[in-house]
Amino acid sequence: MPRPMPTTPFLLAILVAGTAACFSARADATAELPDAPGAMHLATASSRDSVIFAGGCFWGVEAVFERVSGVIAVTSGYAGGDTREPTYGQVSTGTTGHAESVKVIFDPAKVSYSQLLKVFFQVAHDPTQLNRQGPDHGTQYRSAIYTSSEAQLSATNAYVAQLEKMKVFNGPIVTEVGGWQTFHEAEAYHQGYYDQHPNQMYIVINDKPKVEALAREFPDLYRTK
């Protein structure tokens, strides 16, 4: 069930406006976000760690993190709710408690958790939009981070507090931060959606700018896919 696409210039203008609002959340749109306090540095040996990010439609969030060097795998799915084995249709009603999410598996020796946090808050989404992201509305599009360890949880809370104190964004950060949630993998047609549909208008307007921002603002982390 693909998202409905604009069919008139008026609806297209609304979609573009929503996207523009998403990318103007930073008080200084050209400024780089600060590093996390007590940043979690690169590990001394290769291993695997994971975290769940939710930041609106999972197509774009997945596309961003797939292009971060050191990320091993990214999977689109649903997390944060109580419905067992949720489907896209169910989650889209906004009644399951789940958020469209991506599970990111990464090598801490190649990319630190602190760097992933910075990418999430700087280019993957707008953390000031409550229960929405751009043109998409509902609790299933909320901003959330579900951590896999106490160290991640502590680092995330400290970083959010730092960003709030520095007033990096024009509004308060509404990101839900919590411990690990059961992750339900989304239907196969959602996986790699950005690369399968590069010319779809929704992708071009909402998600391509995020990938371009990653390449521009994180050149040392960006990798072509």
The residues annotated as belonging to the active site are 57
DSSP 8-state secondary structure symbol assigned to residue 141: G
- For residue 98, the one-letter residue type is H
Neighbours of 105 (CB within 10 A): 15
CA–CA gap between residue 146 and residue 52 (Å, rounded) = 5
Torsion sign (Cα): 35, 38, 43, 47? negative
Helices (H) and strands (E) in the chain, counts: 8, 8
Where does 2-47 show beta strands of DSSP type E? none
Please list, in sequence order, all residues whose beta carbon lies within 8 angstroms of the beta carbon of residue 165, skipping any fewer than 6 positions away: none
Q: Which of 61, 56, 93, 55 is nearest to 75 (CA)?
A: 61
Inter-CA distances, 125 with 19, 86, 95, 187, 225, Å: 10, 24, 22, 22, 20
Cα pseudo-dihedral 203, 135, 118, 27, rounded to 10: 130
Both tokens of 71, joined, read: 């990320």
